[in-house]
């Protein structure tokens, strides 16, 4: 590296939010490692995460209703309130090996 090189890049202020929801598993099997997908828009209807629809993970969803929460970070410049749309989860009936 030469003098002046910076690996940090530009730092941007972010706001963190907890998104609370309820997953409805209508099957009779527990769902594991369910990815949560959805769109988040700012107050001006701009997509907050334009190139990303996967927002989090729910480790286990037994049959029926299950409360969950995921944390999302958005640029502090996005006007609030945020709008959450088209949320869904997709997972597996068996554990995913890591």
Residue among 61, 60, 40 nearest 51 (CA): 40
Residue 17 has pLDDT above 90, yes or no: yes
* Domain residue ranges of the chain, discontinuous segments joined by +: 14-91
Residue 64 has pLDDT above 90, yes or no: yes
pLDDT tens-digit profile of 29-47?
999 999 999 999 999 999 9
Q: For residue 33, how many other CB atoms are within 10 A of its CB? A: 16
71 vs 2 pLDDT, higher one: 71
Q: How confident is the model at residue 1 (pLDDT cuts 50, 70, 90)?
A: very low
Query: What is the CATH code for 14-91?
Result: 2.60.40
**In sequence order, which residues have a C-beta less than 8 Å from that of residue 24 and are 6 or more positions away?**
64, 65
Token output for 81: 């309130």
Q: What is the pLDDT of residue 5?
A: 53
Average confidence (pLDDT) over 67-95: 92
User: What's the CA gap between 51 and 61, in Å, rounded?
Assistant: 27
Token output for 31: 């769902």
């Amino acid at each position: 590296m030469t003098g002046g090189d910076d690996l940090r890049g530009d730092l941007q202020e972010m706001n963190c939010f907890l998104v609370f929801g309820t997953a409805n598993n209508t099957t009779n099997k527990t769902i594991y490692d369910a990815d949560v997908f959805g769109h988040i828009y700012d107050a001006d209807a701009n997509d907050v995460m334009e190139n990303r629809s996967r927002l989090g993970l729910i480790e286990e969803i037994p049959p029926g209703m299950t409360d969950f929460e995921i944390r999302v970070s958005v640029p502090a410049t996005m006007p609030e309130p945020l709008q959450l749309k088209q949320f869904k989860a997709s997972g597996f009936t068996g554990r995913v090996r890591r």
